[in-house]
C-alpha cells in the first residue's frame, strides 16, 4: 500500500451526517462519506492503535442566512502521529474549498445525498504541533441552527493504518436573525409542561463511536443504597469545546441530556437509561432557573450549569458543562437519593472497565473510558 494510503480521514458533519473510512484502506486521494460502512466508528473503523488526538473546530457560531463563513479545523500532533486529512459533509447549506488553510483540500460529490463534500488531496504534515485545514460553509436561506461535528484522525504515516487514532468535536451554528427569548418584567403564571421541541437523545444499545473523546481523566462512582444512593460522573481535561457545542438548555424545549454507562463489552447497562435531565427552560428548581449560563448567555459564554437539590430529575442534582481550550474543558454529573436508578453496581460487577457517555439532544456527545476499577460489588462501583 502506498504511503498516500496513510491518509487521515477527518469528518466534519452538519446535523446527523457521519464519515467513515473505507472497508479496505484509507483513501489516498480523498473520498466521500457515502463510501464508509459503519457510521458509529468514524475513522477508527480503519485506523487504530495510536493515541487519541486533540481536535479543535473554530469559526463563527452565529451567522446570517445565506452568508458564507470560513471555518478552521485543527488536528493536534500526538507522538509520531504528525499527519492528517479530512472529509467534510454538510446536510444543510453549501460547502466549498477556501480559507487560509485550504491547501490540500478538494471538493467531491456525494452520490447518495447529491451534496458536495470537502476532502483531502494528500496527507498534510503538522506545523507548530498541529495540522490545520479550512473550508467555507454557506448558510441556508432559512434555518434555526446547525451542528457541525468534526472527526480528526491523526496518523503516523507509516504506510499502513496501524498506530493511528481519531477523535471528534462539534460546533453549533445558529441563525443570528432569529430572535432569542428574553424574560419579561411581569412574569405570567403558566402550567409546567414537558418540553417537546428537543427530542430525547436516549442511550444506544452499544457505545457510540461518534462521540467526542480526548478527555484525559474520568471518574464513575455509583452507590446503590436507597435514599443514600449516590452518582458521580466526571469528564476532565477534555478537548477544545465551546458553550454552543453543548446545545442550549436555557430555552423551553431546549437541550435534553442523557448519561449512558457501558460495560467492557460496549453494552449498555440498561438500568441507567433513567439518568435523563429534561428540564430545559424551566423555573421549577427550588423556585429558580434549573439551568444557568456560565459567564454569559450563548454563544459567548463558557458553558452551562444545572442545580436541583431535591433530585427530581431522575435523581440528578447537579450538572456542569464547561468549555475551554484543549485540556481545559470538563463535564460533571452528580446525583443522589432514591430517585436514582437502582441495581446499577450489580450490573457492573464483572466488567473490567466502563465507558461513560453524556449525550445532548441537539449538541455534542462526549465519551470517556474508566479502566482503573477501585471497588466493585453489587452495591458500589468506582472506577477512574
Say yes or no: domain 3-175 is CATH 3.40.50.1100: no
The pLDDT tens digits for 205-253 are: 888 888 899 999 999 999 999 899 999 999 999 999 999 899 899 988 8
HSE of 15 in the Cβ direction (CA atoms, 13 Å)? 8
Q: What gap in Å lies between CA 319 and CA 234, rounded to an integer?
A: 10
Q: Which residue carries 468514524 as its cell?
A: 42
Contact in structure between 269 and 347 (CB atoms under 8 Å): yes
Cα-to-chain-centroid distance, residue 134: 20
Q: What is the pTM of this model?
A: 0.52
Sequence spans of domains, the chain: 3-175, 217-383
Percentage with pLDDT > 90 across the chain? 31
Exposed, middle or buried, 110 (CB in 10 Å: 0-12/13-18/19+)?
middle
Tell me: pLDDT of 309 over 80: yes
The pLDDT tens digits for 90-147 are: 888 888 989 889 989 888 888 888 888 888 888 889 998 898 988 898 999 999 888 7
The pLDDT tens digits for 324-362 are: 999 999 999 999 998 888 888 988 999 999 999 999 888
**Residue 264, Ramachandran bin (φ over 0: left; ψ between -120 and 50: alpha; else beta):** alpha
The pLDDT tens digits for 63-97 are: 889 999 888 888 889 899 999 888 888 888 888 98
Amino acid at each position: 500500500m502506498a504511503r498516500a494510503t496513510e491518509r487521515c480521514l477527518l469528518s466534519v458533519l452538519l446535523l446527523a451526517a457521519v464519515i467513515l473510512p473505507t472497508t479496505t484502506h484509507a483513501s489516498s486521494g480523498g473520498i466521500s462519506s457515502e463510501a464508509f460502512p459503519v457510521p458509529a466508528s468514524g475513522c477508527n473503523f480503519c485506523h487504530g492503535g495510536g493515541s487519541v488526538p486533540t481536535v479543535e473546530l473554530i469559526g463563527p457560531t452565529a451567522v446570517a442566512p445565506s452568508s458564507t463563513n470560513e471555518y478552521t479545523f485543527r488536528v493536534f500532533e500526538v507522538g509520531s502521529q504528525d499527519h492528517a486529512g479530512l472529509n467534510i459533509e454538510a446536510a444543510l447549506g453549501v460547502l466549498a474549498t477556501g480559507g487560509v488553510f485550504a491547501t490540500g483540500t478538494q471538493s467531491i460529490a456525494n452520490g447518495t445525498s447529491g451534496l458536495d463534500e470537502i476532502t483531502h488531496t494528500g496527507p498534510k504534515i503538522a506545523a507548530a504541533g498541529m495540522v490545520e485545514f479550512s473550508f467555507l460553509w454557506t448558510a441556508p436561506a432559512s434555518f434555526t441552527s446547525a451542528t457541525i461535528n468534526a472527526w480528526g484522525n491523526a496518523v503516523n504515516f507509516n504506510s499502513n493504518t496501524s498506530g493511528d487514532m481519531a477523535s471528534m468535536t462539534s460546533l453549533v451554528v445558529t441563525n443570528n436573525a432569529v430572535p432569542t427569548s428574553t424574560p419579561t418584567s411581569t412574569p405570567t403564571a403558566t402550567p409546567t409542561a414537558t418540553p417537546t421541541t428537543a427530542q430525547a437523545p436516549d442511550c444506544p444499545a452499544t457505545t457510540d463511536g461518534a462521540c467526542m473523546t480526548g478527555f484525559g481523566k474520568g471518574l464513575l462512582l455509583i452507590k446503590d443504597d436507597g435514599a443514600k444512593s449516590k452518582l458521580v460522573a466526571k469528564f476532565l481535561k477534555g478537548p477544545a469545546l465551546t458553550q454552543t457545542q453543548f446545545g442550549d438548555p436555557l430555552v423551553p424545549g431546549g437541550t435534553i441530556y442523557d448519561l449512558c454507562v457501558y460495560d467492557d463489552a460496549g453494552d449498555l447497562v440498561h438500568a441507567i437509561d433513567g439518568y435523563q435531565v429534561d428540564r430545559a427552560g424551566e423555573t421549577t428548581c427550588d423556585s429558580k432557573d434549573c439551568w444557568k449560563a456560565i459567564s454569559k448567555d450563548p454563544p459567548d459564554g463558557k458553558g452551562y450549569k444545572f442545580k436541583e437539590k431535591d433530585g427530581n430529575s431522575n435523581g440528578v442534582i447537579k450538572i456542569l458543562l464547561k468549555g475551554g481550550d484543549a485540556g481545559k474543558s470538563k463535564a460533571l454529573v452528580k446525583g443522589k437519593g432514591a430517585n436514582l436508578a437502582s441495581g446499577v453496581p450489580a450490573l457492573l460487577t464483572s466488567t473490567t472497565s466502563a465507558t461513560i457517555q453524556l449525550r445532548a439532544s441537539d449538541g455534542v456527545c462526549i465519551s470517556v473510558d474508566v479502566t482503573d476499577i477501585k471497588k466493585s460489588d453489587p452495591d458500589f462501583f468506582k472506577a477512574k
